[in-house]
Structures are given as C-alpha cells and as structure tokens.
Amino acid sequence: MSNPVGNPSTESVDSQRDAFIERFLGFASGAFSLFSIYIGDRLGLYRALAEGGPATSAELAGRTGTHERYIREWLEQQTVAGILEVEDETQGIEARRFSIPPGHVEPLIESGSLNYMAPLAQLLVGATRPLPAVLNAYRNGGGVSFDEYGSDLREGQAAINYPAFWHQLPDEWLPAMPDVHTRLQEAEPPARIADIGCGYGWSSLGMARGYPNVRVDGFDLDEPSIERAQENAQQTGLADRVHFQVRDAGDPSLAGHYDLVTCFEALHDMNNPVGALQTMRRLVRENGTVLIVDERVGDTFTATGNDVEWMMYGWSILHCLPVGMTHENAAGTGTVMRTDTLRQYAREAGFGKVEVLPLEHFFFRFYRLTP
C-alpha cells in the first residue's frame, strides 16, 4: 500500500534519524574539542610544546608545573581529536612523544595574529558558566547580568578581538571614512574619540596607536573590565592619551565633546539600544560621526542562515540575549541584529543618515551614523 501524501515513509524517517544522529555526535565531538582546547590554552600546554618541542607526558608536565597523569590523558585525547600529533604510537606510555603541528601553532598560541582562534574556547566556557540562570530566564523572563558570566567571557572576548582592534581598526577600518581619517590625523586641535562599551580597552588603544594625536575616552560600566583596560593602557605606553572610566557616557557634561564616537560589538547587548544611540548622538560634535561595528548577519531570517549565523545565534541564546534582557521593557535585540534593525534604532535615535561602509570582514559589518 502506498503512503498517504505528506506521510513520510519509514525508510525516509530512519534515514533522517540516522543522519541527525551522525550530526549530533559531531556536535559532541566539537564540544569536547573546544573544552580540551580551553584546558591546553589556560595551562600553557600548547605554548610549551611549540616553544620547547616534542615532549613526553612527563616532560610536558615538568615544563608546565602540572600533573603527569592528567597531561598524559590530555595528550592522547588531543591526538585522537587531530589537534596534536604523536611521533610513534607504538612506544610505551612513558616514551611516547607528542608535538603540535606547525600549521596549528598560529591559531592556538599567536595572540597577535588575525588567525588566533584559541580564545573562542575560553569564550564558550564563559558563555556556559551561568546556564542555570539562563534556564531560569527562559522559563520566567528577565535576564542574566554580565557579571554572572565571569572572567573567562571577559578575557576571551578581549583576546579574540585584540588582533583586529590593534591592527585592522586603525589601519583599515577608520581609513574607510576619509574625512574622519583626515580629522584624526590632525594635530591641532587633537581629535577626541569616545569609545562606548570599551571592555579591556583594545579598541581605544588601537585607535590611539594608529593616530598619535588623538585623545580617547573609553567608557564601560563593568568595573573589572575598566581595571584591565587601565593596566593595558599603562603597558602599551598610551595612558597619557587614553583614559578609561566606569562612567555613564550619558552624562550631560560630555555632550558635543567628540569628533568620533565608536561602539564595537556592544550595541546588540544593550537593554535600550535606542537610548544608547541617542547618547552617542549627543556626544558627537555637529559634524561628528558615530561608528557602530556589529555582526555581519543576513538581511533576513532564512532556515539555513548565512555563513556566520550558526555562531551568532549560539552566542545570542547563551549570552547576548540574556544580558540584553536584564531591565524591564528591554529591547531584547540579541546578537543577530540585522541591518534594518540597526537602521530603525538609528532613526528613532534621531540620526539623519546610516551608511554601511564598503569593508569586507568575515564577522563584522560597519555602520557610519551621522546626525
């Protein structure tokens, strides 16, 4: 007897089930690999292998001050996962030597490289830290405060963005606005920049590195982040021109003080993005510019998403949406803030023009807002 229209056959259901199980196991494999990378990164195991050469479990434990039995298990897991290599798998437990493939060094330990990927593991650990609170928010509404995500999320976010903020921001992104680029180069009077939601300060410091005359004020309401930003300013020798403050940038005394206001990967986390944009509009001078850098998601929802939405929705369901829902009447934007949503927020905030800058980036889209 043939199947009724719309009623899938047992064979097709079984095939779909089996394909999903295979994908499910792939999800689990990726999760285990990311958490194992977190261990290797935080304990300095990859760096010890890259700098000291191939090692047995005892040698690596000695280099890193760790416990040999744990290191042995980790080395074997890393090899099975295809992250590390073993020189001769037939050797006994104590004699096996493990190494990091040359092509894996840059993504795992070169923190200044645009190909540095290890902080994604730390970010994921941070994003999953308050899962019970996230589940409560899903059940009852409300949000989860940024503080509950802890230092791993702060540090991972800063580390993954550092290479782009230090290099691409001053060397490629800001020059895409020629008039702004020219103003930032002028010595008298020096241009002033307000960096909203500056985190560990690498965006502020990157702009100051690239433009030796500018003065930058970094604002963030997270005190631990500002403490680290101040340390980074001292370490980079830029503390004389970059100042970080735990302060609401909506302070009326700051109105009209800045030639450029920036906000990097922060607007979609805010409970009141329109209010934040209104603040940014007040901060800039009459002919000033606001630069919003946010995620390069698709223009509309599709079942498959674009090439980065799998990640952006992941961050959104675990972190960005809960953080952005902590206040009553929160906008609830989430990580997947599409261009039309940003344009709507900007119009409501009173901006006269929104321009998407012609910059190609895998993760980011660049919006220039002018009053």
| Alpha carbon distance 339, 365 (integer Å) | 9
The predicted pLDDT at position 214 comes to 98
**Residue type at position 37:** I
Report the DSSP beta bridge partners of residue 85.
Answer: 99
Q: Read off the pLDDT band of 5 (50, 70, 90).
A: low
Cα–Cα distance for residue pair 56/60, rounded to 1 Å:
6
Structure confidence at residue 1 as a pLDDT band (50, 70, 90): very low
Percent of the chain exceeding pLDDT 90 equals 95
Q: Which residue has the tokens 């607007």?
A: 267
- Asked if residue 340 has pLDDT above 70, the reply is yes
Residues 80-89 have a mean pLDDT of: 97
- Closest alpha carbon to 183 in 281, 258, 256, 243: 258
At residue 10 the predicted structure's pLDDT band, cuts being 50, 70 and 90, is confident
Look at residue 165 and tell me whether its pLDDT is greater than 60: yes
Task: Give the residues across from 354 on adjacent strands.
Answer: 369
Q: 310 is written with which tokens? A: 């799998």
Q: What are 63's two structure tokens?
A: 């280099």
Return the pLDDT at 225.
97
Predicted pLDDT at 3: 56
Is 326:145 a contact under the CB 8 Å cutoff?
Answer: yes
Give residue 285's pLDDT: 95
Which residue do the tokens 């196991």 mark? 25
Number of neighbouring beta carbons within 10 Å of residue 43: 18
3-state class (DSSP) for residue 330: coil
Q: Which residues are CB-contacts of 352 (< 8 A; sequence separation ≥ 6)?
A: 370, 371
Q: Which pLDDT belongs to residue 6?
A: 63
Beta bridge partners of 291: 262, 368
Please state whether beta strands 192-196 and 215-219 pair in parallel, antiparallel, or not at all (unpaired). Answer: parallel
List the structure tokens of 232: 């980074």
**If you average pLDDT over every residue of the chain, what do you get?**
96
Residue 245 pairs in a beta bridge with 219
pLDDT of 7 strictly over 80? no
Both structure tokens of 51: 């700098």
The answer to whether 277 touches 267, Cβ cutoff 8 Å, is: yes
Phi and psi at residue 65, to the nearest 5°: 65, 40
- For residue 244, give the H/E element and its range: strand 242-245
Phi/psi zone of residue 197: left (φ > 0), alpha (ψ -120 to 50 degrees), beta? left
Angle between helices 10-42 and 119-128 (to 10 degrees): 110
What's the DSSP call for residue 2? P
Q: Do 203 and 221 touch, CB atoms closer than 8 A?
A: no
Signed CA dihedral, 158, 159, 160, 162: sign only:
positive
| Residues 209, 211, 212, 218, Cα dihedral to 10° | -70
Q: How many angstroms separate the CA atoms of 327 and 7, rounded?
A: 46
What is the full DSSP assignment across 178-196?
HHHHHHHH-TTTTPEEEEE
Instruction: Please tell me the distance from the alpha carbon of residue 177 to that of residue 191, in angstroms, as a whole number.
Output: 15
Q: Which residue has the tokens 């580390």?
A: 159
* Residue appearing with tokens 């104590």: 94
